[in-house]
Structure 1
Amino acid sequence: MSTQLTPILTKFWDHPTSWTLETYEANGGYAGLRKALQTEQADLVQMAKDSGLRGRGGAGFPTGLKWSFLPPPDGGPRYLVVNADEAEPGTCKDIPLLLAAPQFLIEGMIITSFAIGCNHAFIYLRGEVAHVHRRVQRAIAEAYAAGYLGKDILGTGYDLDITLHSGAGAYICGEETALLDSLEGRRGQPRLKPPFPAVAGLYARPTVVNNVESIASIAPIAANGADWFAGMGTEKSQGFGIFSLSGHVTRPGQYEAPLGITLRELLDMAGGIREGHQLKFWTPGGSSTPLFTDQHLDVPLDFESVAAEGSMLGTRALQIFDETTSVVRAVSRWTDFYAHESCGKCTPCREGTYWLKQIMHRLEEGRGSQDDIDKLVDICDNILGRAFCALGDGATSPITSAVQYFREEFEAGMHTPASELFPPERSMLFAKETQPA
């Protein structure tokens, strides 16, 4: 595997005005749209299939295949909804993309909408990021002014409107059907499936729901061809992706590279673990994926290889932790998040995450009992595969994997607080400011 980065979506992020339409067009923007509008819709769907693009939001489902699930046109509306509700701890690729180069998403949305026969598309954005909302709203306005949106786009007779919608800060709305309920003005909770969104989604009409990076990748694919995209990555995990390195790494940030690159290669480019320390554990795909340790440094970061090692590629949120970090404290914080964000619809998740939180707090504070570890694993087993949506499964992943690799730290939680074993100040990235006397 080459350590060569592939700056495509991130190519001009360092430009002083990277977010403007002018900068985007100067870097080849909207060339893909012009080609796509001269292409048969079925051929565009096939292009997405042939490229090998898989969902960049976590599940990794083939994007073109998802488009093809829409039923034949019946004269009624159909919709594209972009999931920009990025909210999982450690996941930080979609928001920077929207802030630095939002036109990639807009062009990708126009191409996708044309391919599936959609005339009204939506972006569901996380509500707290008001600065991103303003940036994307301006980008949409620029696209309208340039004739890329609205009526008779580029004189082809095709019409498309895009609506930007801000959510209310619920992590559960990252689940596609909860997102659709929220977009319709209802409480964001997962729907029973089937019917799937492709058949009855937004307003009970056929709907495609895709992640920001997935749709943004369509623009360069349309411009350069499916074979160009498929030529990167691995045989089954094709193309490039944004890898988000954070935590105890010398140069954290976004590294756009072919799928199949390893953490060792990414760390080499990022300056390695912070000076004087060594890798202890890391997440390959965000806090909802099973942990990896230093023994997984050379696992190719593609969907199949990561799954074979017992985890998930997810959102490629690589959170790096060195030996100063208490795995019990880190997992306890994540468990707090999932317990707080559970929508409460199903008993396994609502009750299970509550009790996981209580036990994790006991172990973190050194008040654990002899059977707490087995109880943790048992509760996880009763949540996994039994919750209404994937939030419950995600809540169990860091716990079961942490117990697997660091059981001795959990056993220490029966008598010694994590703060004594791993003083928090040692793992801090920034020195604590001293208050004036």
Structure 2
Amino acid sequence: MEKFKSVQDLENLRKKLKDALASSKEKITVRLCGGTGCRASGSPDVHDELVKILKREGLMDVDVSLTHECLESTNKVDIKMTGCQGFCAQGPLMSIAPMGVFYVGVKPEDMEEVVEKTIKKGEIIERLLYHDPASGKTYVKRDENPFYAKQTRVVLKDCGTVDPASIYDYLAEDGYSALVKVLTSMDRKEVIDEVIKSGLRGRGGAGFPTGEKWLGGYKNPSPKKYIICNGDEGDPGAFMDRSVMEGDPHKVIEGMMIGAYAIGCDEGYIYVRAEYPLAVQMLKKAIKDCEELGLLGDNILGTNFSFKLHVREGAGAFVCGESTALTYSIEGKRGMPRVRPPRTNEKGLWDMPTVLNNVETFASIPTILSKGGDWFASIGTANSTGTKTFALTGKVNRTGLVEVPMGLTLRELIFDIGGGILNNKKFKAVQMGGPSGGCIPESQLDLAIDFDSLKKAGAIMGSGGAVVVDEDTCMVDFAKFFLNFIVEESCGKCIPCREGNKRMLEILQRITEGKGKEEDIELLENLGKMIIDCSLCGLGKTAPNPVLSTIKHFRNEYEAHILDKKCPANACTALASYKIDPEKCIGCGKCAKNCPVGAISGEKKKPHVIDQEKCIRCGTCMEVCPKDAIYRG
């Protein structure tokens, strides 16, 4: 394929691609989720088995999805390995068009039946549909599924639809049409004005207005500027940016190109942590394809706009998500924050003005420029417009990747989309914003999800992590988990973060071991406030949030650990006691035989007892009991 020399060359190919789709609209297309979650569940094996059967049955000649080379393919069935389709807990996921069937948990051994019944005869295989345990209903189509019903997919619209490895697939879905619009009918300032009008705020966590950031880059007179996409995403339980880079890399690239044009920049970097190998692979493939078609390089589409794009892999340091640490890392230096000002807009990569946004922010840009800033601003709330992606994880029935309009309540996110709490347990809290976020309790379930409401509640939007916990979770131990992560990931440059968080962690450790003192709660609060006020970067300034928010909402649990030497959730091993239910115990003696300290005694075929003075609370007895007669209480 020759490089596009003009906009018309691109549009001519787009027309061919769309015509090919229209002429084959009756063709069956199988979209199999190829996101990291479904790959881990075996989707590549499902794909290989399906291809083998389709070729055997004469339904497929070439194993390709929509590419320029196979427009005239005689395939009766096409397979696309898409990006993440969202419903990760039910993977591998498969949707079949045009009938609209959505199958969950598919396995290689299911493919014979899928081909014979669904593909050949149009029949639905009941056992492969999603059966919702909460309502007892079965759903045939994806959009009817309660997990998807309340979502508004803007960033994720094509994630799970297009083949991320095919630039032609993206072009057929109007990919790069926003770039064409910008290059042919808008000047740089008009682009920025449209982004300002949209109200888009940075989706990396801080929520700084994107248009204002771009305006600063635009006004800087430097002849050399850079634009950077932050794909570092180090929050435990977060996989939003990862999924977009894996599943729709061209949307990120298009957003970056529009941003580069707006600020007057000819070079950019996508910074991705090396633990995201699939994202790195897809981004590099997308960049290579763009270069071969002339969508990256000099005089793009015959215009005066030139842009080169590189991928840089980070070593996985959480602190490199901070803008100044990230730029140092790209330069080959140790990733450590520096004092600001100057900000990266003034002095960033190689001391040049640099505009930095995260993956989701850039992925929002093509739709904003296509549909207009007013359209985007009509979604969400006045001060938090548009949509936000979340990695919904933890003790919920339906976990996965979701995208919802700003202003949706936590109750709707957790109970309507997430399906409520696992095993009918009671909801306790949701940690919003990752390890630097805060816990929100049941009393605030009707809180609207937007930047300002979450901040007021002691949490942050963050990059979009939402970890749900139930009644069996100890909130002191939960805070300790996140603070331990922060301590491990602190770069150590400034004393408040390096030493202050360690001291907080030591206090939490002491409390969970039953060695807490009455003054510890006040000490934690004072330490937390000092760290927030004195730390150098955003990591330190938000690090105490999990501790301060759990003290605020679950102070009684801290007091129970300190004053009563008890863990209300029976989760802290040092404060727990193991007991035997005499009604369930059959006197088999397995617990006594396996106890490492001989703390269990009893006659054969009679209920046994545990000597609490000898017990070291290792939990071995509970693991080996065949009748679940031993419990922690």
TM band (smaller chain): over 0.9
Of 376, 383, 392, 1:229 maps to 376
Of 153, 161, 164, 1:7 maps to 153
Contact 1:71 1:198 in 2 (8 A): no
Write out aligned runs for 1:277-288 (5 A).
277-288=425-436
TM-score, normalised with respect to structure 2: 0.65
Of 285, 290, 295, 1:143 maps to 290
SS in 2 for 1:229: helix
Write out aligned runs for 1:158-307 (5 A).
158-267=305-414, 268-307=416-455
Q: Percent identity?
A: 38
* d(CA) in 1 for partners of 2:557, 2:568: 12
Instruction: Return 18-27 or 411-420, whichever deviates more.
Output: 411-420
SS in 1 for 2:436: coil
1:422 has 2:578 as partner? no
Contact 1:366 1:412 in 2 (8 A): no
* d(CA) in 2 for partners of 1:106, 1:16: 15
Q: 1:127 Cα deviation (Å)? A: 2.1
Aligned to 1:37: 183
Contact 1:20 1:101 in 2 (8 A): no
1:338 has 2:486 as partner? yes
Q: 1:419 to 1:102 in 2, by over 3 A?
A: farther
* d(CA) in 2 for partners of 1:104, 1:69: 24
Q: 1:35 Cα deviation (Å)? A: 0.3
Contact 2:245 2:279 in 1 (8 A): yes
* d(CA) in 1 for partners of 2:179, 2:374: 17
Of 224, 243, 248, 1:77 maps to 224
Contact 1:329 1:418 in 2 (8 A): no
Q: For residues 286-309 of structure 1, give each alpha carbon's deviation from its aligned partner in whole angstroms, at most 9, with x where no partner exists.
A: 231221011111111011222333
Aligned to 1:28: 174
SS in 1 for 2:342: coil
* d(CA) in 2 for partners of 1:232, 1:302: 12
**Matched AA of 1:245:** L
* d(CA) in 1 for partners of 2:569, 2:427: 20
* d(CA) in 2 for partners of 1:211, 1:204: 20
* d(CA) in 2 for partners of 1:232, 1:339: 38
* d(CA) in 2 for partners of 1:111, 1:256: 23
Q: For residues 367-417 of structure 1, give each alpha carbon's deviation from its aligned partner in whole angstroms, at most 9, with x where no partner exists.
A: 222322222112112211110112112211010111111122222333647
**Matched AA of 1:297:** L
Aligned to 1:370: 518
Contact 1:230 1:239 in 2 (8 A): yes
Write out aligned runs for 1:285-434 (5 A).
285-414=433-562, 416=565, 418=567, 421-422=570-571
Q: 1:37 to 1:16 in 2, by over 3 A?
A: closer
Write out aligned runs for 1:20-169 (5 A).
20-38=166-184, 39-70=186-217, 72=219, 74=221, 76-169=223-316
Contact 1:71 1:206 in 2 (8 A): no
Q: 1:241 to 1:19 in 2, by over 3 A?
A: farther
Contact 1:263 1:301 in 2 (8 A): yes
* d(CA) in 1 for partners of 2:567, 2:302: 65
Contact 2:150 2:417 in 1 (8 A): no
Q: For residues 10-44 of structure 1, give each alpha carbon's deviation from its aligned partner in whole angstroms, at most 9, with x where no partner exists.
A: 12333373443222222221111110112101111
Q: For residues 165-224 of structure 1, give each alpha carbon's deviation from its aligned partner in whole angstroms, at most 9, with x where no partner exists.
A: 011111111110111111111111111111111111111111101111111111111111
**Matched AA of 1:298:** D
Q: 1:227 Cα deviation (Å)? A: 1.2
Contact 2:165 2:285 in 1 (8 A): no
Contact 1:240 1:256 in 2 (8 A): yes
* d(CA) in 2 for partners of 1:12, 1:199: 35
Contact 2:297 2:307 in 1 (8 A): yes
Contact 1:12 1:18 in 2 (8 A): no
* d(CA) in 2 for partners of 1:199, 1:75: 9
Q: 1:71 to 1:271 in 2, by over 3 A?
A: closer
Larger radius of gyration, structure 1 or 2? 2
SS in 2 for 1:232: coil
SS in 2 for 1:298: coil
SS in 1 for 2:534: coil
Aligned to 1:17: 163
* d(CA) in 2 for partners of 1:40, 1:385: 42
Aligned to 1:429: none
SS in 1 for 2:338: coil
SS in 2 for 1:275: helix
Q: 1:134 to 1:370 in 2, by over 3 A?
A: same
Contact 1:362 1:413 in 2 (8 A): no
SS in 2 for 1:353: helix
Structure 2 unpaired stretches of 5+: 1-148, 574-621, 625-633
SS in 2 for 1:50: helix
**Matched AA of 2:429:** F
Contact 1:283 1:292 in 2 (8 A): yes
* d(CA) in 2 for partners of 1:250, 1:241: 21
Bigger RCO (CA 8 Å, 6+ sep): 1
